[in-house]
Amino acid sequence: LMKTDGEAAHAVYSALAAGIRHVDAAWVYKNEREVGEGLRRAEREGIVTREKVFVTSKLWNTFHRPEDVHTAVNTTLRDLGLSYLDLYLMHWPVAQDPVTHQRIDGVSIQQT
């Protein structure tokens, strides 16, 4: 779901209100703040507690360098408004340069 302008927040809230208990997010979708808004609204209204929702997000390709992973996950946590994720995946197993988006050789999956 790559919607903005309130659509993602409403979609997440509606899904949680309908009984869905898994939220899949990613930095590259550019809507993690709104996803967090939907989660918080559902919590405020007593629909769910954080512990009852399984939240997944993903490390984008331009953040595979070991020194970038910590910043990337903290950005996701901040944007979602959460203190933890239930699952954090590599979006794609290919590291890319953040400027050129070309594949970076020499950054293995084991290094991330």
Q: Which residues are catalytic?
A: 29
Tokens 């550019």: give the residue.
30
15 three-class SS: helix
- Whether 60 and 29 have beta carbons less than 8 Å apart is answered as no
Q: Which helix (H) or strand (E) holds 56?
A: strand 54-59
1 three-class SS: coil
